[in-house]
Each structure stands twice: as structure tokens, then as C-alpha cells.
Amino acid sequence: MRILFLGDVIGRSGRDGVARHLPELKEALKPDVIVVNAENAASGFGLTHKIADEFFAMGVSCLTLGNHAWAQRELMISIDREPRIVRPLNYPEGTPGKGHVLIDLPQGRKLLVVNPLARVFVEPVLDDPFAAMERLLAAHRLSGNLQILVDFHGEATSEKAAMGFVLDGRVSAVLGTHTHVPTADARLLPKGTAFMSDVGMCGDYDSVVGMKKDVAIWRFTHKTPFPDRKLPAEGPATVCGALILTDDATGLARSIEPVRVGGVLGAATVAAL
């Protein structure tokens, strides 16, 4: 199976970047399934159904979220009507939506997409993401017909690395999101799970992690809120993510390659491009 995963989409710049570059990525990489983290897609905070529908029209199979899942209140009311939008797995019982989705693919294959949310520097009061994953994997066993992609949304690389090793050999891939900066540690873990601490964002990198520079600088230098609201940067986006090739006999990964195209970052794409 060829899985294309794209990191946090930041505002209009990120959405336009995905719309522009996804067709060429699809043509060159031939993914069987596309998953996108969209928790910053609506003006930098949250997701709306209108934006979600735009991604689905592009051929995206599933949208994951993160700590800004409920920034757009409409989603809390209506997420149960759209199973392709996955909120964090370890929210308390009774939270709207689900933390995983099972995607049906040709030839009887399925991809389970899971979205645990980290606690270190992010949401310390949430349920334990490690325990939440154990409960889920007790009911879903990795195989050639059932492959498992984990979008672990977190700040600390240590917590994300720990999750990778805990799940090594039991899921196809553990990919980090949230920091908006692509890391250089894409690799296969010892038992065959693909891992990358953070795949980066789809957004304008002439910014401070996707937000306008003057807004972020003001907050650091003045220690007071900026006179205007925090807004995403609006320049051309770099589309960042990863391509994972899995073994259809075992469900484990055979390779992982970073994907970066467009904008101000240097390209880092697989040989097909």
C-alpha cells in the first residue's frame, strides 16, 4: 500500500498549496490513500465542513485533527455526521466524533487511521495516549489486509519517539504533527514501523510556524497580545508530508520518504519526482 500523509495545513496558504501540488503528487507518487492533518486549515485554527469538503473533492480520504479540533464550534455539533474527520483518540468518553476511522480500499484492504493527542506541552489533562492506543490495538491487529497509520499530534519529540517505539511492529507508521517543522529522522524502526517525529506543515514557511512574523515577534518581545488577531502567513506554501510504502503481506512498512514541494523550503521528494 502507498500512503501519502500531509502535515498540518495552515490557513488559506496551506489549502491553496495542497490544491496546487496534490495533483502532481498524485501523478508522481501514485498513492492508494491520502490522509491530511487539517486542524489549522480554517484561518489557522480548526476546521469547517466547507473546507473539509474541499479536501475530500481533491481525493483526500481522511482528515485528522489535534489540539485545535474545536476551534470552529460548528465541528463539535456536526462531526458525528462525517466519519472521515478524525478527532483526537484520547478525549474523554462522550466527546463528539471518533478518534479513529477504518478506510475501505480496493482488493479488500483496509487502513485504520488513528489520531492520539500528546500531553507534554500540549494537553496535560487529557487521557493517557499510550493507554488509549493499547485499548484500540486490542481490537485491531495489524495485517496485510488491515494496516494502521498513527498521526501522533504532539510537541515533544521525546514523547513522539516513545510512542513510535511502543507501537513498533504493531502499526504501519507513526507520524508526528503539530510543531509545523519537518524533522530529519524519517526511518524504519527495528520491528518495521515507519516513523518521523514531525512531517512538517503545509503552509508559508516565511513565517513563525505558519503565522505572520510581526504577530509572533510582538508576542515574544512585548509579552502582550498583538493589537490584531493572530493570522496565518499568506505567502506561497511548502507542502510537507511523507510517503509510506507498506508490505501487503504483513502491513509493516517497507520504506518512508519525506515529501516537500513548493514554497521556500528545499524540495525533498521521492525519486519519482
What does the pLDDT average to over 246-272? 87
pLDDT at 272: 43
Query: For residue range 38-96, what is the model confidence (pLDDT) as tens digits?
Result: 999 999 999 999 999 999 999 999 999 999 999 999 998 889 999 999 999 999 999 99
pLDDT > 90 in the chain, percent: 84
**What pTM value is reported for the model?**
0.94
Annotated catalytic residue, options 68, 153, 178, 180:
68
Q: What angle do CA 202, 207, 213 make, to 5 degrees?
A: 145
- Classify domain 2-261 at the CATH class level: alpha beta
Is residue 271 over pLDDT 70?
no
Q: The C-alpha cell of 5 is what? A: 500523509
Parallel, antiparallel, or unpaired for β 33-37 and 2-6? parallel
Query: For residue range 132-149, what is the model confidence (pLDDT) as tens digits?
Result: 999 999 999 999 999 999
Query: For residue range 115-132, what is the model confidence (pLDDT) as tens digits?
Result: 999 999 988 888 999 999
The beta strands (E) that lie in the chain are given as: 2-6, 33-37, 62-64, 85-86, 100-104, 110-114, 146-153, 173-177, 187-188, 194-196, 239-246, 253-261
Domain boundaries, given as residue ranges, for the chain: 2-261
pLDDT at 229: 67
For cell 514501523, name the residue.
Answer: 193
What does the pLDDT average to over 1-28? 97
Contacts of 219 by beta carbon, 8 Å cutoff, 6+ apart? 225, 226
The model's confidence at residue 273, banded by pLDDT at 50, 70 and 90, is very low
Residue 68 annotated in active site: yes
Query: For residue range 190-220, what is the model confidence (pLDDT) as tens digits?
Result: 999 999 999 999 999 999 998 988 888 888 8
Is residue 228 over pLDDT 80?
no
pLDDT at 217: 87
